[in-house]
Chains A and B, each alone.
Chain A
Amino acid sequence: MTLNITNVAVLVVLGLFATGFYGLLAVRNLIKVVVALQILVKGAMVALVAAGNLTGQLQAAQSMALTVIVADTIVAVVALALAVQVRRCIGTLDIKALTSLKR
């Protein structure tokens, strides 16, 4: 496997997704869960830009990535607002405390 930009991007994307999913599964603090979600989306964004580079559509890919940043920030804001409210009402950010609803 040669070290060109596409392969590096693939490795970065895989690394970010692995980190993000590990975070989603292993971390107990709600704020860190939100960070893990952010890492996932950042991985997808790198993939988007790399795809643009590969097909010679870099500008289109970059404008899409910018739009993703905006949409993603809104999700993060809503998630953090929920986290604040969870801390206020339940008194902890530990997601293990969020299991009152049974299957």
Chain B
Amino acid sequence: MDATTALTGLILTPLVASPLVYLFGRLAARAGAPRNPARWLALVVLAAALAFLFPAGQAVLNGSAVEVVDGAIALRMDGIGLLLAAAVLVLGLLVTLFSSPYMAGEEGEEKFYALLVMMCGTMVGLGCASDLFNLWIWFEAMAVSSYMLVAFYRQQGASLEAGVKYLVQSAAGSALVLLGIALVFSQSGTTSLAAIRAGAAAGSGPVLMAAGALFLIGFGVKTALVPMHTWLPDAHSQAPSGISAMLSGVVIEAGLVALLRAVGALAGVSTSWGLLLMVFGAMNILLGNLMALRQKQVKRMLAYSSLSHVGYMLIGLGVTVGFQLAQGAAGGFFHLLVHVLMKGLAFLAAGTLLYALHLAQGSHHPLVADDLNGAARRYPFIALVFSLALLSLGGLPPLAGFMSKWQIFVAGVQTHNMAVIVLVVFAALNSVLSLGYYAPLINRMYRKEIGPVVEMGKPVPVVMAVPLALLALALVAAGFYPALFGWLVNPAAASLLVAFGG
């Protein structure tokens, strides 16, 4: 199979299959199938997409971006697109597997799988968009499918509230992006990212600057840059746990990729944009940490910790945008991948405990920190992988979270710019601060007396433990052997430099 066919297949498979998953699941539910087979179809679809990714990815790794252009639809898979597609499909597969017992028996289960497949497909498309307007369409399609997944428990007031907040903020953001696209179009007369890049090199006027600011605000809502982050803790804590893992692991990172692509076409390598991204990163780190410190609900705390991890990525990427050092983006993208693993693992492990302690008993209580008391006695495996994820999030060596943060900090110091070095030291201190909320959870699981909630807990289905084991394995492997993902990360960093015209 040649690479262009593979890319077409990769994009089309989830999009075409998503309605079929719904129809199939609906018919099976009508016929009274006890365990809805839509989950297996979703699993097969995502696996098929992953199979298409191999030939397409091979071509990208050999150094030539794969392009498909059909009329106004322009797709171009480079290193960044490959990285995002790989992260989305792998996490999507694991989440589908995890959700199979988690969502079993929920009303409208087939919709969950159809929307999950759709969301994965649109994110792969988003990573490959080579046209500004296409980028917006993919972004909007991804947002629509995620709105419905966030408000999936539609009988719960809290989850509806989270869905409404998310929808209003995100839709206002995408209107601003659209206005930014109009501004760019009025200057360059084209929406192709490469053509805009070529035209903007002549000198970016005030109109393009305004467009860049609109992109920063609009895509920043989805990326949860600090003043635009208020939807995130609600949405992440109220969504079904598998979706929390997807939102935190890949959706906000997809927003980040969209932001980099759009800004990259306008700005080029410039110290001011790099520093701007880094300052946003520092604000994210600080606010994420401070807010996470005062959370009692486990999933809400993890949501705030996502804020601070986006901040680390921004610092790494800002080094490349501002100073043309590929190591920064390599560290940033490595942290993105590691974040997929560790935050995916943390949300899925928290979800497993939520399922065993509350959901399986028919209650929609949130999982609070007190519920975890003594969890290690009853659920030793879940407690172990959860602790691994938390320690890695806190950046303890030799876990992967330490390796990626280290790469970012080293790259920051290599810029020999005083402002950047101050920011890096600030981020490193914050990384220590973050242990202040990760460590007490581990303490509760291992050292507290077994609590009444754990006493009453139900057993954990084996199918749920499989994705946890795989993620934990990858996390430890990437920690001991950080070059494991180099083949994926370095092309992405090179592509970022190309996107910014370096």
Contacts and interface: CB of A to CB of B under 8 A. Distances in A.
B174 to A, nearest CB: 8
Interface residues of B, number: 45
Contact of B158 (A43, A68, A101): A101
Interface in A61-103: 61, 63-64, 67-68, 71, 74-75, 78-79, 82-83, 85-86, 89-90, 95, 98-101, 103
Contacts of A37: 168, 171-172, 175
Contacts of B291: 103
B189 interface: yes
B189 A101 contact: no
Given A40-B172, A78-B147, A82-B151, A54 B186 contact: yes
B164 A95 contact: yes
Main secondary structure, interface of A, reads helix
Contacts of B165: 98
Assign chain A's interface to a size class. Answer: 35 or more
Given A44-B181, A82-B160, A100-B158, 14 more contacts: A13-B179, A20-B172, A24-B168, A51-B183, A57-B185, A57-B190, A82-B164, A83-B164, A85-B154, A85-B160, A99-B161, A100-B161, A101-B158, A101-B237
Given A51-B185, A101-B162, A89 B168 contact: no
A57 B155 CA distance: 47
Contacts of B156: 89
A55 B186 CA distance: 6
Given A75-B171, A82-B163, A103-B291, A61 B185 contact: yes
A101 B291 CA distance: 14
A103 B297 CA distance: 11
Nearest to A55: B189
B182 A50 contact: yes
A101 B148 contact: no
Given A17-B179, A51-B182, A86 B160 contact: yes
A101 B175 contact: no
B172 A48 contact: no
A79 B167 contact: yes
Ranked 6 nearest A-B pairs via Cβ: A51-B186, A55-B189, A47-B182, A44-B178, A40-B175, A51-B185
A90 B144 contact: no
Contacts of A68: 178
A41 interface: yes
A47 B162 contact: no
B140 interface: yes
B164 A86 contact: yes
A101 B140 CA distance: 26
B133 interface: yes
A101 B234 contact: yes
A98 B189 contact: no
A99 B161 CA distance: 8
A38 to B, nearest CB: 9
B182 A33 contact: no
Contacts of A56: 189
Interface of B: 72, 133, 137, 140-141, 143-144, 147-148, 151, 154-158, 160-165, 167-168, 171-172, 174-176, 178-179, 181-183, 185-186, 188-191, 230, 233-234, 237-238, 291
A21 B173 CA distance: 11
Contacts of B137: 67, 71
Contact of B183 (A47, A57, A60): A47
Contacts of B183: 47, 51
B140 A48 contact: no
Nearest to A44: B178
Nearest to A54: B186
Contacts of A13: 179
Interface string A24-42: 1000001001000100110
Contacts of B133: 64, 67
Contact of A20 (B155, B175, B189): B175
Given A37-B172, A78-B148, A98 B186 contact: no
Given A40-B175, A71-B137, A89 B185 contact: no
A6 B97 CA distance: 54
A89 to B, nearest CB: 5
Contacts of A78: 144, 147-148, 167
A43 B214 CA distance: 14
Given A48-B178, A82-B167, A101 B161 contact: yes
Contact of A50 (B144, B158, B186, B189): B186
A23 to B, nearest CB: 10
B160 A24 contact: no
A41 B178 contact: yes
A24 B175 CA distance: 13
9 contacts: A21-B172, A37-B171, A47-B178, A57-B189, A60-B191, A67-B137, A71-B137, A78-B148, A83-B164
B163 to A, nearest CB: 6
B178 A45 contact: yes
B157 A100 contact: yes
